[in-house]
Structure 1
Amino acid sequence: MSDRGTLERLVIKAYEKADYSGQPLSQFEAFINPNEITLAYEMEYDSAQGSGTTNSRMNFKKVKPGDMSLTFFIDGTGASGRPASVQDKVEQFQAVTGYNGNIHRPNYLKVGWGTLQIKRCVLKSASIAYKLFKPDGVPLRAIITANFTDNSDDQTRVAMAQDQSPDLTHFRLVKAGDDLPSLCHQIYGDPRLYLQVARANGIDDFRNLVPGTKLRFPPLEK
């Protein structure tokens, strides 16, 4: 979380491994944060229609990988108080999100900003519009419109489609009156897992949770 008064910028981090392990290969930081983020989801159904009926029953199959659209504005005029080389920023975006010869495919990406859930994705398409030029042809402003598609593995994507899924790590801020067994029951459906959660958070006295404490509830085997 940013300190109060500090502007947090949207960041795209690139990875070479499909499991996103290790340190990021490189990253792109938005020059000016987007004023709009579009998330698109699609559900897939099987339509079952009984013989002699006119209506079909839509049986849910799966949540298909979703898309995310972002628009980045780059200003090289200095009007924003942060002079930048437009072409350098464009090339940085292309290097982070584009084709990587080491893995013979585009990089695996994580996109994160503020409280938005970090999205694992890959670049689907991008367009660059140059809007203003110096007399010698050097670009002064550019708009990058980028579309990303979800790259979460099937297990993670299915878990994300389920409310309070125990297959994903959850975080909770302790409120007055909360106790660890009850929180474990809410998340895992099993209050007996409180000792494992206490160990995961380094809690010695699980009976006296301090309000405002952030607790991590990792995936656990029941």
Structure 2
Amino acid sequence: MAESSLRIIAYGSPKDGDPSKEIGSFTVDFNPNTLVVSNKIEYKQPDAKGQAGGDPVFEKIPPLEFSLEFTIDGTGVAMGNLSPDKKNAYKSKKHDYVKSQIIKLREVTGSGINGDIHRPNYLALLWGTFKLECVITALNITYNLFDAQGTPLRAKVTCNFIERIGPGKGGRQSRLESPDLTKYHVVREGDILPLIARQNYEDSSYYLQLARINKLKNFRNIPPGVTLVLPPLVEKDA
């Protein structure tokens, strides 16, 4: 089942991809407006003494890096957007809702050390049909609204993650060159094209090609129920 709200799931082992084995989770109040994906390619300059320039030598493609922002709101305006569990949490800790949610987020993401595994938690991001196995590299919190007593009522959270590619999963290139038959994807609430490209081709930068192939006039707002064609190999523009 697709997740309509972004959920961050914590696992105690890199092999625990089954939701039944999660050790904690955090669901955002409001889905992020933007998701920044950084796809780096590393080269080294040739070591040719006495010569200038030369062709860079390819070294590796590091894991993808992701950055997203979302808001934690304790003013009550988000009540209609909250899950039943979060509504109960808000009602029971109305005055300290933002503080309690920040504490929970830190516990789930493993901003500290998990004593059972002696490292921060292994994570998965679930949103729509998108799932990313990752670890967190930075958690920045900006408190931007307070009551008269100085209690925070709203906070902007910025999370940075790095993709975790476990053994046996293969690289992006082998996936792109696989002889799989054409696939079809039915758009669900919360789906965005870069995430669909990332899920099927392990490279979100293919979203423009998917938009062209499917003749999408507005790929930023695809209505639920639309069926997208996902060919076995999408060649990037030169």
TM bin, normalised by shorter chain, reads: 0.5 to 0.7
Q: Does 1:105 align with 2:101?
A: no
Please give the alpha-carbon distance, in whole angstroms, between the structure 1 residues aligned to 2:4 and 2:47: 51
Give the SS at the match of 2:63.
Answer: strand
> For residues 48 and 106 of structure 1, do their structure 2 counterparts lie closer, same or farther at Cα, with a shift above 3 Å needed?
same
The alpha-carbon distance between structure 1 residues 145 and 25, as it changes in their structure 2 partners (threshold 3 A), is same
Given residue 102 of structure 2, which amino acid in structure 1 is its aligned partner?
V
Using the alignment, how far apart are the partners of 1:86 and 1:170 within structure 2?
A: 47
- The answer on whether the counterparts of 1:12 and 1:109 sit within 8 Å (CA) in structure 2 is yes
CA separation in 2, counterparts of 1:171 and 1:100?
42
What SS does the aligned partner of 1:42 have? coil
Give % identity: 32
- The alignment of Structure 1 onto Structure 2 pairs a total of residues equal to 171
The partner residue of 1:33 within 31, 34, 40 is 31
Q: 1:141 aligns with which of 154, 162, 186?
A: 154
2:177 & 2:37 partners in 1: Cα distance? Answer: 21
Instruction: Write the letter of the residue equivalent to 1:121.
Output: C
Give the structure with higher Rg (CA): 1
In the alignment, the residues of structure 1 paired with residue 8 and residue 173 of structure 2 have an alpha-carbon distance, to the nearest angstrom, of: 24
* TM-fit CA distance, 1:154: 5.8
Give, in angstroms, the shift of residue 129 of structure 1.
1.4
1:96 corresponds, among 108, 111, 117, to 108
Superposition deviation, residue 28 in structure 1? 0.7
What is the Cα-based RMSD across aligned positions, in Å?
3.3
| Cα drift, residue 43 of structure 1 | 0.9
Please, which runs of 5 or more residues in structure 1 have no aligned partner? 175-211, 213-222
- Structure 1 residues 139 and 47, CA, compared in 2 at 3 Å: closer, same or farther? same
Which structure dedicates a bigger proportion of its chain to helix?
2
Q: Which runs of 5+ in 2 are unaligned?
A: 81-86, 91-96, 186-226, 228-238
User: Structure 1 residues 54 and 137 mapped into 2: Cα distance closer, same or farther (>3 Å)?
Assistant: closer
Tell me, in whole angstroms, the C-alpha distance in 2 between the residues paired with 1:130 and 1:34. 17
> 2 CA distance for matches of 1:88 and 1:170?
48
Offset, 1:110: 0.5
The separation in 2 between residues aligned to 1:95 and 1:55, in whole angstroms, is 49
Cross-structure match for 1:17: 13
Structure 1 residue 77, shift from structure 2 partner: 0.6
